[in-house]
Structure 1
Amino acid sequence: MKHGLVLGLLTSVISGSIYATEGGTIGYPLGIDAIYSGVMFPKGLTGMLIYQNYSADKVTDSHGNTPSGINSFKINSNALSARFDYTWPEAKILGADVGSRATFAFPDVDVKNEVNYVGDVGGSSKGMTDSTITPMMLGWHGKNLQQVAGMDITIPVGKYNKNDAVNVGSGYMTFAPYYAFTWFDRSWDFSGKLVYVINQKNMHTDYKSGNGFTLETSLGYHVNPKFTAGITGYAFKQVTDDKQDGVVYEDGYRGQVMGLGPYISYRFDAGPALIIRAYKEFKAENHSEGESVFAGLMYHFK
């Protein structure tokens, strides 16, 4: 059975891989692909190690307010994820390079939530969360414009128990087709990525989270050839209703949230690149509202 607003949000797992959740939020990692999202990596293998911290002390209802009955709420998550991109050396489709991707993440989540007449209905969970693969993505290279299109598939291999308030797994698959671009000139770059998130039914609970769009974007200024600083942001809007047992859940329980913050990137002489970004969330509905910090180290294996 669906846990309702409070426990539905408590199942949220904020990680470098996915938001594993029911109840108005999203099966996609908000903010992780906002920077250089339209760039296909060079031929061969590129690896990225990502650390993320997410914390929030606010949870919202359909009107953006704290639900009645909640005395206090706090979520804190630390996650480490590894992403591997491989651009196939000899492959070409429609004039584009062809690549594949796999992401594995390991979050540690702690939730405290005081509810009237019930007490603390939070909990904690850690371990491997659901894995995301991109069997094929296409990358086009222009003089100033880079473009990538593909579809991420999230596979529910993370630990999940429908009776637990907090899970690192979601219990359902997610399909996320996307298009991304990055435009460069000598001093500036601008990126955008549009994703449509299609959630499948959770067979453990007979609950189906609604589908939604995410938009991620960034604007960077190249201080010098190695160092870039800029702003980055994201927006998520659910466009179809949540359903349980085939029936619309409450008012549809549609989620939304936006995030905005600064970022820096630095490329070392030896080849690795470091990207650090931070987000402050706002305009949340049926979603937690907090802050996150990402630190990612990328390296291309020649």
Structure 2
Amino acid sequence: MRKIIILTALSLLSVIGYSQGHYNGSSFNPNDYFAPHEGIIIPVWYGYADMNYYNAKGNKSDQLINPAPGNPTSLQIEQKVQTHSFIAMAIYGGKGKILNANWGMMIIPTLNSPTANIALDYYSIQTGSGRYDFTNKSIGFGDMYIQPIWLSWKQGNFQYALNYGVWAPTGKYKPNDLDNGGHGYWSHNIRVALKYKPSAKVNLSIAPTLELNQWQKDTDFKEGTHLTLDFGGSYLLNSRGDEVGLFGHYTKQISDDKGTQGGFVSDQTAGVGGFVSYWIVPHKIGLMARVTQNFATENRFGGIAFQTGINFLIPTKKATDKKPI
């Protein structure tokens, strides 16, 4: 069986759905931690998320407990936050080898309505008690993800990967502003991944990601470090490359927030989901759809997220140069 390039979901639409910090678990499909084959991929995606706030006991609540100095100890909040997101990614699978590894790069600008994590930022810096409603429906540019290091090695039925990406604060950010589209700080994502192929049609993967955050612009606040464990598997349906799969994740804050503003209670969440991909034109134009459901959510928003999109693949090799993988 021949394949030019992996049909990449890379549905970071879920990244702009529900979490503190930038990176959300289950943002990638099980095969997407590994560098693509030579070529250019242009995915265009739409995502929808329906989120509710869960307190430190894991219960859905209208009370946001916020012990930050100078802030009220409790706020009445608007429970439901619904978001819409649009992404046009640019992914490049490089020629040759770097450190004997396949390599690639990606850049992901985002266009979205204010997200659930931005809503949580908004609630957490209020300075008076009462009820606060997050009802902004505007669309604007969000923060941009750039992954300049994307390496993967193959050995027998195993594949290994090392990724480094950074979230740049390109989205509008102003303290206590309802119109924010970004978080106002840089985040660094360091990821390693392992994939095992027990048969020609089955792939299994696991990938821990460490997210390190910098100080927020114009505030005295630094989000704590998060560790996320992603895992999942996929099944190849036919020789065209159509695929289905399941995935899951667990995210935990592993260091305290710093500064005098924002929420100061550690958070966590988990999630499960599935995806399906279909080639309209094999190895050139493909459709993808995914769904993710959160559970075990504490001190953050959680809920359900849907993504759908189309991927355009532009191979850099001629058809006669293709090699089986």
TM-score of the superposed pair, with normalisation by structure 2: 0.77
Q: Indicate the SS of the match to 2:114.
A: strand
Deviates more, 1:111-120 or 1:172-181: 111-120
CA distance in 2, matches of 1:211, 1:291: 24
Deviates more, 1:192-201 or 1:182-191: 182-191
Asked if 1:190 is matched to 2:184, the reply is no
- 1:39 shift after superposition: 2.9
Q: Where does residue 95 of structure 2 map in the other structure?
A: 89
Please list every run of at least 4 consecutive aligned residues from structure 1 whose deviation after the TM superposition is greater than 4 angstroms: 17-21, 110-117
Q: Where does residue 229 of structure 2 map in the other structure?
A: 215
Q: Indicate the SS of the match to 1:55.
A: strand
C-alpha distance 25-53 of structure 1, shift in aligned 2 (>3 A): same
Given that 1:259 and 1:282 are in contact with CA atoms closer than 8 Å, whether structure 2 keeps it comes out as: yes
C-alpha distance 179-60 of structure 1, shift in aligned 2 (>3 A): same
Asked if 1:170 is matched to 2:183, the reply is yes
C-alpha distance 72-129 of structure 1, shift in aligned 2 (>3 A): closer
- 1:166 shift after superposition: 5.3
- Higher strand proportion (structure 1 or 2): 1
Unaligned runs of 5+ in 2: 1-10, 64-74, 316-325
CA distance in 1, matches of 2:156, 2:312: 24
**Match for residue 39 of structure 1 among 16, 20, 34:** 34
- What letter matches 1:126 in structure 2? I
**Match for residue 277 of structure 2 among 256, 265, 270:** 265
C-alpha distance 170-20 of structure 1, shift in aligned 2 (>3 A): farther
- 1:71 shift after superposition: 6.4
**Match for residue 265 of structure 2 among 242, 253, 256:** 253
Q: Indicate the SS of the match to 2:182.
A: coil
Asked if 1:150 is matched to 2:163, the reply is yes
- 1:60 shift after superposition: 1.8
C-alpha distance 274-48 of structure 1, shift in aligned 2 (>3 A): same
Q: Where does residue 49 of structure 1 map in the other structure?
A: 44
- What letter matches 2:253 in structure 1? Q
Unaligned runs of 5+ in 1: 1-13
C-alpha distance 269-94 of structure 1, shift in aligned 2 (>3 A): same
- What letter matches 1:254 in structure 2? S
- 1:153 shift after superposition: 0.6
C-alpha distance 275-191 of structure 1, shift in aligned 2 (>3 A): farther
- 1:299 shift after superposition: 2.7
CA distance in 1, matches of 2:87, 2:26: 14
- 1:59 shift after superposition: 0.7
Given that 2:42 and 2:89 are in contact with CA atoms closer than 8 Å, whether structure 1 keeps it comes out as: yes
Q: Indicate the SS of the match to 2:55.
A: coil
Q: Where does residue 241 of structure 1 map in the other structure?
A: 256
- What letter matches 1:203 in structure 2? K
CA distance in 1, matches of 2:46, 2:205: 22
TM-score of the superposed pair, with normalisation by structure 1: 0.83
C-alpha distance 31-262 of structure 1, shift in aligned 2 (>3 A): same
- 1:55 shift after superposition: 0.6
Given that 1:17 and 1:104 are in contact with CA atoms closer than 8 Å, whether structure 2 keeps it comes out as: no
- 1:287 shift after superposition: 0.8
**Match for residue 201 of structure 1 among 207, 215, 218:** 215
**Match for residue 62 of structure 1 among 46, 56, 68:** 56
- What letter matches 1:267 in structure 2? W
CA distance in 2, matches of 1:181, 1:47: 25
- What letter matches 1:228 in structure 2? E
- 1:19 shift after superposition: 4.4
Q: Indicate the SS of the match to 2:174.
A: coil
Given that 2:15 and 2:23 are in contact with CA atoms closer than 8 Å, whether structure 1 keeps it comes out as: yes
Deviates more, 1:45-54 or 1:217-226: 217-226
Q: Aligned pairs, how many? A: 282
- 1:33 shift after superposition: 1.1
Residues 138-196 of structure 1: CA deviation (Å, up to 9, x unaligned): 12234433332121111101011112145211100000111123333223121222110
C-alpha distance 74-20 of structure 1, shift in aligned 2 (>3 A): closer
What is the percentage of aligned positions where both structures have the same residue?
Answer: 23
CA distance in 1, matches of 2:163, 2:294: 27
Q: Indicate the SS of the match to 1:132.
A: strand
- 1:17 shift after superposition: 7.7
Residues 124-149 of structure 1: CA deviation (Å, up to 9, x unaligned): 24211011111222122344333321
- What letter matches 2:81 in structure 1? I
Q: Where does residue 231 of structure 1 map in the other structure?
A: 246
Residues 128-143 of structure 1 correspond to what in structure 2 (within 5 A)? 128-143=141-156
CA distance in 2, matches of 1:244, 1:100: 34
- 1:224 shift after superposition: 2.3
